[in-house]
Amino acid sequence: MSFFKVLLSFFFLFIALHLNLASAATFDIRNNCPYTVWAAAVPGGGRRLDRGQNWVLNVNPGTVAARIWARTNCQFDGAGRGGCQTGDCGGLLQCQAYGVPPNTLAEFALNQYMNLDFIDISNIDGFNVPMEFSSVSGGCNRVIRCTADIVGQCPNELKVPGGCNGPCPVFKTDEHCCNSGNCGPTNYSRFFKERCPDAYSYPKDDQTSVFTCPGGTNYKFAVSKMSFFKVLLNFFFLFIALHLNLASAATFDIRNNCPYTVWAAAKPGGGRRLDRGQNWVLNVNPGTAGARIWARTNCQFDGAGRGRCQTGDCGGLLQCQAYGVPPNTLAEFALNQYMNLDFIDISNIDGFNVPMEFSSVSGGCNRVIRCTADIVGQCPNELKVPGGCNGPCPVFKTDQYCCNSGNCGPTNYSRFFKQRCPDAYSYPKDDPTSLFTCPGGTNYKVVFCP
C-alpha cells in the first residue's frame, strides 16, 4: 500500500502540511427534478433551486461530517425563516445544522486518511429525493446513485408525507440505530439496500457503501449516510482513544502453501521460517498502521539469526525490524483507523516474488484479495531479477513511477501488474481499485501460494 510508506510518526505533520497547501473542493449541486427543491449543505447553508438550476459550493480541505441534501415543499419569508415538509433544518433557509429525517443524504469527508476523500449516499435517515453523487476530476470515476421509487414503495410504518423514513428515526432502538456499535441488517434496511445497493442502509453498512477518491477531487451532486460521519469531528480523537483502549489485538494466520520453504516477515512482528504447510499466528495491536507481511525466499541464517535472502531481505536479519528489499509481494494493513475501519491491500508497487492471498476470517467481513498470476515467469526483461519481478519504481526511481510529487498515473509497467492482479496496487495512486476495508476487530489470513 503506497500510502504506508509514510511512517506513522509523521502522519499528523503530513496532514497539517497538506491542508495548508490543498485547495477547496468544488461541489456542483444541480436540480433535475420537475419541481423546486431547496438544496441544503452543512457546511454551506442553503439555496432554492428551480428545475435545471445549480449551486456551486466550495468546501475547505479537511472538512469532515459534511452533508448535502434536498428539502421539499418549503416556504420561507424574506428573512429566510419558514419550514419544509422534508429535510427541514430548524426552519432556516441557510442551514446551520443537519436536516430532519426523512432526507436522502450525500455525505463526505475531504483530505482524510492519507489524503483520501470519503464519500457516500445514505438512506439511514430515510429518503425523500432521488440522488446521484459523482466525482468529476482527480482521475476518480465514482458514480453513486439512489434513484429507486422508494417513496412509492415505502413500508406503511415508515411512510411520512413526502418521504420514507429510515427505521432508526422511527423506532429509535439499538437494533436499528446501532448505538451500542453492534448491529446488523434488518428487514427494513434490506428494503433500502435492495433498491439502492450502493447507499448506506444501516449504520454498519460500510463495506458496500463508503467510497474513496484522491484528495483534491471535485464533485457533482444531482437530485433527479455515511454512518460514521454522525460522530462530530471534535469527538473523533476521543473516540479513537477510547476505542483503542478497549479493542483487542487482531490475529493474522500466516500460512505457507508453497512447495518450497519461505521465511515469512512482518513489520511489526519479526520473522519466521515456514516450511510447506506450516503457519505462524501473529497478534497485532489495535491502531497499528504502516504494517506489512511478506515472504522471503532462498534465505540462509546462522544461529544468531543473521544472514540474507534472495528476495525480501530485511537488513540480513531473521527477525525483521524494517521493511524488506524489493521485489516482494506485500500484504499491507492499518487497523482501527478512520471510524474504526481496517484498511487492507496487496501491493505490487515493490514488485512480486511469491503468489499471495490476503483475506478476512471474522468480523462479518468477506474480503478476499488475491495475486497469484505467473508474474515472475512473464516479467518484462528490464524488471527481472533472480527470484522475482521488480516494480518500476525501485528500478527507475523516477517520479513517473514513484509518484513522489503526488501526481502520477498508470504506465505500461503498472498495467502489466494490474492486468494480472487486478485487485492489487500496481502504482502509488491505484487506491480506487486496490484499497479495501473491514470493520475493526476483524481477524485475517495471509497465504503464500494459495
Tens digits of residue pLDDT in 338-375: 778 899 999 999 999 999 999 999 867 889 999 999 99
**Any idea which residue has 446488523 for its cell?**
184
The model carries a pTM of 0.59
What is the torsional sign of CA 192, 193, 194, 199?
Answer: positive
Beta carbons of 408 and 396 less than 8 angstroms apart: no
For residue 187, the cross-strand partners are none
pLDDT in tens, 380-424: 999 999 999 999 999 999 989 998 777 789 999 999 999 999 999
Confidence band (pLDDT; 50, 70, 90) for 224?
low
C-alpha span between 219 and 337 (Å, rounded): 25
Mean pLDDT of the chain: 88
Query: What class has domain 245-448?
Result: mainly beta
27: amino acid identity, one letter: F
| Side-chain half-sphere exposure of 189, counting CA atoms within 13 A | 22
Q: Which three cell numbers stand for residue 377?
A: 515467469
pLDDT tens for each residue of 251-290: 999 999 999 999 999 999 999 999 999 999 999 999 999 9
* Grid cell digits, residue 133: 453523487
Same fold: 2-230 with 245-448: yes
pLDDT reading at 76 higher than 70? yes
CA terminus-to-terminus distance, the chain: 21
pLDDT (average), residues 11-39: 72
Confidence class for position 139, pLDDT limits 50, 70, 90: confident
Q: What is the DSSP string of 286-351?
A: TT--SEEEEEEEEEEE-TTSBEEEEES--TTBSS-SSPPPSS--EEEEE-S-GGGEEEEEEE-TT-
Residues in Cβ contact with 6 at an 8 Å cutoff, skipping those fewer than 6 apart: 14, 114, 290
**Is 135's pLDDT higher than 60?**
yes
Query: What backbone phi and psi angles, to 5 degrees, belong to 195?
Result: -95, -30
The three three-digit cell numbers of residue 282, written as one number = 501473529
Would you list the domain boundaries of the chain?
2-230, 245-448
The listed CATH number (2.60.120.620, 2.40.30.10, 2.60.110.10, 1.10.10.60) that belongs to domain 2-230: 2.60.110.10
Which pLDDT band, with edges at 50, 70 and 90, does 228 fall under? Answer: very low
Give the Cα separation of 58 and 119 in Å (integer).
16
